Structure 1
Amino acid sequence: MSIPSTREKSVETVSEKDEDLLTPPDGGRGWLIVFGSFLGLFSIFGYNYSWGIYLNYYNKNVYVGNMSQLSWIGSICVSLFFVLGPINQLVISRMGYKYMLVTGTVLCTAALILASFAQQVWHIFLTQGVLFGFGASFVWFPCIGAPQQWFSERRGLAVGLAMSGSGIGGLCISNISQAVINNLGYRWALRINGIIVFVLLSIASLLVRPLGTSKQTGGNGQLISWYLFKNPMFSIMFVHGLITTFGYMTPFFLLSSHANFLGLDPWVGTNLSAIMSAVNAASRICTGYMGDRIGRFNSLFLCTFMAGVCCLAIWINVHDQATIWVFAVLYGFFGGGYIALFPTVQPQVVGLEHISPAVGLLYFTNLFGYMFGTPIASALINRSSPPRYEDGAIWAGVTVIVGSLFAGWLRVQKAGWKFVKV
């Protein structure tokens, strides 16, 4: 555990030594918490990462000519994963993790089942977009908050394992969805996804629990914890998350359509999201462990920066099957590292005593980036004929790299310019 600098020893910033007030066990029941969180994230992100398959099918076969409206649904959905952010601590204190997860189970399952009966685009918007996204918010915050609390020295590995559920979920659900669509139709694919979500989230509801009480992790107990912005490191981290998310999901949503535009084998477009999800899952475990070994702040900057470089150096030059696979693998790895490492540094910035409101505010930034990032990229791509996917790659690369510079600033704030484990 690194020694905190003097600027962190203020009322607003709890030092890492103070984290030990809750004494994370670094094992034991904590591994059940990780498993439950894995299942929760598998469920909500498994569906989200497979949205591209539904998007392509809807655009070609069901709601033909409505691409501009359909492209908003995935962005609306994933952005609403974080809608509870500003009042996260209030919801936790009123409901607790158990009933938050039960609520998410009901809403997410209902969203997919209702979507299977949709007849118009606005039905899909309300079900697969708004209802599922809102329900997933009740799943996301317990599943990302709990592993942070139960681990200290192994926090990177624990969070990485929990968050690998999203990548593995994307791999599994994408293939299941495509297979069911091909054999039974998209309506049954939605129903089967709904059943999977119900079963897995029910198990997560039984397993995921916080380490301490809501008072122990709830900071100053304010409705919206504005006092956290008095901590310079928290403010930098807030901006880092805000900017990076405007570009992060763009490749996941648009790479399949890029492959189709290039005239590649349809198998490529179908499996790109699945392969990226698989690499993403492996990356979250590897980079989480790497963060424990060489420093979480160091690793966060490195992975975020390299994800942006991949967009500008590789995706912008994709013209054949080989380069699109290279980009999918490398971006899946570094992008997964960014997602896994972002939560691991949060307790080191604010302390476990403030973790619930901090998680809420930090992930609320994702709402704006995930909602508007991909539609902006789509607009840039389609402003000319034929579409220029290079413009989408530039948008994603620039936003992620700019976000990485704030991750670098955060690392310097933590330990200065010397290369040390931090």
Structure 2
Amino acid sequence: MSKEATIKEDPSDTEKSINEEYITPPDGGRGWFVVTASFMGMFAIFGYNYSWGVFLNYYKTHVYVGEMSTLSWVGSICVALFFITGPINQLVIEKMGYKYMLATGTVLCTAALILASFATQVWHVLLTQGVMFGLGASFVSLPCIGAPQQWFSERRGLAVGLAFAGSGVGGLVISNISMAAINSIGYRWALRIDGIIVFVLLSFATCFVRPFGDVKKTGGGRKVINWYLFKNPMFTVMFFHGLITTFGYMTPFFLLPSHANALGLDPWVGTNLSAIMSAVNAVARVCTGYMGDKFGRFNSLFLCTFMCGLTCLLIWTNVHNEATLWIFAVLYGFFGGGYVALFPTVQPQIVGLEHISPAVGLLYTTNIFGYMFGTPIASQLINKASPPNYVNGALWAGCTIIVGSLFAGWVRVLKGGWKWVKV
């Protein structure tokens, strides 16, 4: 059994012990191809998701005027569905394998954007850009999150950070491509171009994202839903960390552009704010992933999550001009990138590599609820005032993230005690 594993499998399981050498990752080699392919997969699905604001702004102004109440759910439903297969992740992997999971995601995500380009009603958009793309992305996200963890140990933080940087770079690139295409050839062709980009990138991911060996190495207790993982106190606390933090995490990404418009800033600011945050986010994922390897992944996760919440409470609540808005966007983008990159890197240290597939599935299930309801709750709080008061949204995001960070601190104490050590 791996030294890092803290979970004992159900006595009824026949595969109770796995040779330690059998699950020792190579920490390089072919793993770098896996990281590159995972980067491409994250680039495609999160790049589109972060660019949703570009389409939302165009739809509400020119296409589906007066339908904002429905359109506001498209992005939230889409990103929430990114992890819908989480509870049965291990079962899906056993039945399909990474290759066929990614191939399915490639077909669904590409079809979603192509079909959306023919939409004539707002519910068509909800079904294609929301539900269909989200379901397709669920077959892409968990393999691209899980695979890099399996191939690395000492450099796991750097490897996962590089893979996750794809989402930030994708947000920067695809949002600007979408905006340029909308302005030059129309939103329908913008969707088709995005569909082609997604198809190419996900096809690359399908060819090269692979687990470390066969599913027996990382399959855990081999149940449909591996509830036994909750017998590990650190896993349980980590579950609540993810659950609470995600209620606030995406709020700035989705609402800062409209905050810029409410402040009467140049339209360029609102259009590019999320893209610039994504770029900072991408750089941060690599830097903080490396920082986690050097100073301790649990230490770094707590620090980044706590600073995310603190910037919301101290800076976003006091944004009154363009300068403070950009300061908040850069700082939140950096620490937010750290949170996203470090959340998966600590998981093998909590459950061991032999349990990583079901653990990844269950832990990322927490994202469904936060990403679906967090931003709509913030929007309701903002719109309670007239004119809309974005301080309410900042308080919501800041408080939920701070509370979530306390659970990260709890896990750090369970792992390394109260003394300051690398853990």
1:279-326 CA-partner distances (Å, limit 9, x unpaired): 000000000000000000000000000000011111111111100000
SS in 2 for 1:50: helix
Aligned counterparts, 1:196-211, within 5 A: 196-211=197-212
Q: Any conservation in 2 of the 1:46–1:169 contact (CA below 8 Å)?
A: yes
Deviation at 1:185, TM superposition (A): 1.1
SS in 2 for 1:25: coil
**Residue identity opposite 1:32 in structure 2:** F
Aligned equivalents of 1:400 and 1:121: distance in 2? 32
Q: Any conservation in 1 of the 2:7–2:231 contact (CA below 8 Å)?
A: no
1:139 counterpart = 2:143: no
Which residue pairs with 1:384 in the alignment? 385
Q: Quick one: percent identity of the two aligned structures?
A: 76
Which residue pairs with 2:353 in the alignment? 352
Do the aligned partners of residues 9 and 386 (structure 1) sit closer, same or farther apart at CA in structure 2, a change above 3 Å counting? closer
**Residue identity opposite 2:370 in structure 1:** G
Which residue pairs with 1:183 in the alignment? 184
SS in 2 for 1:386: coil
Q: Any conservation in 2 of the 1:19–1:351 contact (CA below 8 Å)?
A: no
SS in 2 for 1:387: coil
Q: What TM-score results when the alignment is normalised by the length of structure 2?
A: 0.96
Deviation at 1:120, TM superposition (A): 1.1
Q: Any conservation in 2 of the 1:18–1:351 contact (CA below 8 Å)?
A: no
Q: Any conservation in 2 of the 1:12–1:230 contact (CA below 8 Å)?
A: no
Gaps spanning 5+ residues in structure 2: where?
A: 11-17
Q: Any conservation in 1 of the 2:245–2:370 contact (CA below 8 Å)?
A: yes
Q: Any conservation in 2 of the 1:283–1:333 contact (CA below 8 Å)?
A: yes
1:11 is matched with which residue: 5, 8, 12?
8
Which residue pairs with 2:70 in the alignment? 69
Which residue pairs with 1:172 in the alignment? 173
Deviation at 1:55, TM superposition (A): 1.1
1:361-393 CA-partner distances (Å, limit 9, x unpaired): 000010000000000011111112110111011
Aligned equivalents of 2:19 and 2:56: distance in 1? 47
Do the aligned partners of residues 383 and 269 (structure 1) sit closer, same or farther apart at CA in structure 2, a change above 3 Å counting? same
Deviation at 1:20, TM superposition (A): 5.0
SS in 1 for 2:23: coil
Q: Any conservation in 1 of the 2:22–2:217 contact (CA below 8 Å)?
A: no
Deviation at 1:61, TM superposition (A): 1.2
Aligned counterparts, 1:184-263, within 5 A: 184-263=185-264
Aligned equivalents of 1:116 and 1:333: distance in 2? 34
Give structure 1 regions of 4+ aligned residues with deviation exceeding 6 angstroms: none
Q: Any conservation in 2 of the 1:19–1:352 contact (CA below 8 Å)?
A: no
Deviation at 1:212, TM superposition (A): 2.1
Q: Any conservation in 2 of the 1:53–1:174 contact (CA below 8 Å)?
A: yes
**Residue identity opposite 1:328 in structure 2:** A
Aligned-pair Cα RMSD in Å: 1.5
Aligned equivalents of 2:210 and 2:137: distance in 1? 17
Q: What TM-score results when the alignment is normalised by the length of structure 1?
A: 0.96
Q: Any conservation in 1 of the 2:81–2:131 contact (CA below 8 Å)?
A: yes
Gaps spanning 5+ residues in structure 1: where?
A: none
Q: Any conservation in 2 of the 1:149–1:211 contact (CA below 8 Å)?
A: yes
1:338 counterpart = 2:336: no
Do the aligned partners of residues 3 and 180 (structure 1) sit closer, same or farther apart at CA in structure 2, a change above 3 Å counting? same
Deviation at 1:21, TM superposition (A): 3.7
Aligned equivalents of 2:189 and 2:6: distance in 1? 56
